[in-house]
């Protein structure tokens, strides 16, 4: 099926559409783990399908896209803006934005041996083990299901072919949006990223201005500065240092680029080259997703 046809495929409740329930198994086997996180995810699809059927019939959704049940994935290098665009689309479509990086950072904020081992990996730009991230995601999806969520926009997952295979085995991903940005901009964007330690909002103090040449036009991305309320509370992520960002980019190329290929082969990959900052890129992304005529998209 062509990528454009996948955008608005109506929701189906199939056995494959049960990733959230697959967690039930991994969660219920996690009680012995010190962090409450299982390292042994098992799948019981029949049970999962039955649970999903029960929950989807009672799920409230305020979105005008009710019933669409989007299962989308964002891929892209560190610093490309996955979080920014995934979160805007999540508000527009009324589905949760689930960023595995955020789940990992939450886990890091707890104390314990596992958390300090994870910190070591994350702060050096390495991936955490597949089993661990699947288990964290499972817990998050299960909690969402209990609140009546249906569908999701995943950001930062899958990041390895193994993760993609597991996801493909248990759910039906409709679309994978691969965000791309000129390499010169990626490092600068990571180094300029700032987060408000109080409200969690993301800003960027970098002003990116790349001269055009015969092959590519000038690219200008103005800084996204915080309002006065957040100004004094800004922090940087511990893994947004030059050395660690370069390592994250290296790991992305080695481990995650094959995931792009994985989805390309299945006809699910939509490549989207960001032309610049949010004002230029957002309308074009909406056009690429055939969402540009939606009244709500203008205010998202």
Contact positions toward ligand ADP, by CB under 6 A?
78, 100-101, 104, 121-122, 125-128, 133, 156-157, 159, 163, 239, 248
Q: Is 274 exposed, middle or buried (0-12, 13-18, 19+ CB in 10 A)?
A: buried
Which residue in 82, 139, 145, 268 is the catalytic one?
Answer: 82
Token pair 């990223």: residue: 193
* Closer to ligand ADP by Cβ: residue 175 or 291: 175
Which residue in 6, 25, 139, 159 is the catalytic one?
Answer: 159
Q: Is 295 a catalytic residue?
A: no
* Closer to ligand ADP by Cβ: residue 140 or 145: 140
* Closer to ligand ADP by Cβ: residue 94 or 125: 125
* Closer to ligand ADP by Cβ: residue 170 or 291: 170
Query: What minimum distance in Å lies between the beta carbon of 243 and ligand ADP?
Result: 13
Q: Each residue of 93-121: b (16+ CB within 10 Å) or e?
A: bbbbbbbbbebbbebbeeeeebeeebbeb
Query: What minimum distance in Å lies between the beta carbon of 123 and ligand ADP?
Result: 9
Q: Is 159 a catalytic residue?
A: yes
DSSP symbols for 3-71: HHHHTTPPP---TTS-HHHHHHHHHHT-TTSTTS--S-----HHHHHHHHHHHHTT----STTTT---E
* Closer to ligand ADP by Cβ: residue 248 or 268: 248
* Closer to ligand ADP by Cβ: residue 70 or 252: 252
Query: What minimum distance in Å lies between the beta carbon of 46 and ligand ADP?
Result: 27
Query: What minimum distance in Å lies between the beta carbon of 134 and ligand ADP?
Result: 8
Instruction: Report the residue number whose CB is nearest to ligand ADP.
Output: 101
Chain centre distance of CA 237 = 17
Query: What minimum distance in Å lies between the beta carbon of 106 and ligand ADP?
Result: 11
Select from 300, 263, 271 the least CA-distant residue to 71.
263
Kindly give the interhelix angle for 130-146 and 45-56, rounded to the nearest 10 degrees. Answer: 30
Helices (H), 149-237: 161-170, 183-192, 228-231
Question: CA 43 to CA 61: how far, in whole Å?
Answer: 27
Which residue in 237, 246, 264, 284 is the catalytic one?
Answer: 237
Which residue in 6, 25, 68, 248 is the catalytic one?
Answer: 248
Q: Is 182 a catalytic residue?
A: no
Q: Is 237 a catalytic residue?
A: yes
Query: What minimum distance in Å lies between the beta carbon of 290 and ligand ADP?
Result: 26
Token digits of residue 46:
């029949």
Question: CA 29 to CA 132: how far, in whole Å?
Answer: 13
Residue numbers annotated as active site: 82, 159, 193, 237, 248
């Amino acid at each position: 099926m062509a990528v454009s046809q996948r955008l608005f495929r109506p929701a189906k409740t199939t056995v494959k559409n049960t990733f959230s329930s697959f967690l039930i198994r991994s969660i219920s086997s996690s009680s012995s783990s010190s962090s409450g996180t299982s390292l042994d995810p098992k799948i019981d699809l029949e049970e999962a399908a039955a649970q999903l059927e029960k929950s989807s019939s009672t799920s409230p959704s305020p979105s005008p896209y009710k019933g669409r049940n989007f299962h989308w994935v964002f891929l892209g290098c560190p610093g490309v803006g996955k979080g920014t665009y995934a979160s805007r689309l999540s508000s527009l479509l009324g589905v949760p934005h689930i960023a595995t990086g955020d789940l990992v950072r939450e886990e890091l904020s707890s104390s314990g041996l596992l958390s300090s081992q994870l910190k070591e990996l994350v702060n050096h730009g390495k991936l955490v083990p597949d089993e661990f991230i699947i288990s964290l995601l499972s817990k998050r999806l299960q909690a969402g299901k209990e609140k009546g969520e249906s569908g999701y926009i995943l950001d930062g997952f899958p990041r390895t072919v193994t993760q993609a295979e597991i996801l493909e085995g248990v759910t039906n991903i409709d679309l994978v949006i691969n965000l791309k940005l000129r390499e010169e901009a990626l490092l600068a964007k990571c180094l300029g990223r700032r987060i408000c330690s109080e409200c969690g909002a993301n800003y960027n103090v970098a002003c990116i201005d790349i001269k055009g040449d015969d092959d590519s036009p000038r690219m200008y991305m103005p800084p996204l500065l915080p309002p006065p309320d957040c100004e004094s509370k800004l922090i940087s992520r511990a893994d947004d240092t030059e050395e660690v960002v370069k390592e994250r980019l290296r790991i992305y190329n080695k481990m995650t680029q094959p995931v792009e290929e994985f989805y390309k082969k299945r006809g699910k990959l939509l490549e989207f080259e960001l032309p610049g900052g949010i004002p230029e890129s957002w309308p074009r992304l909406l056009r690429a997703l055939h969402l540009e005529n939606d009244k709500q998209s203008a205010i998202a």
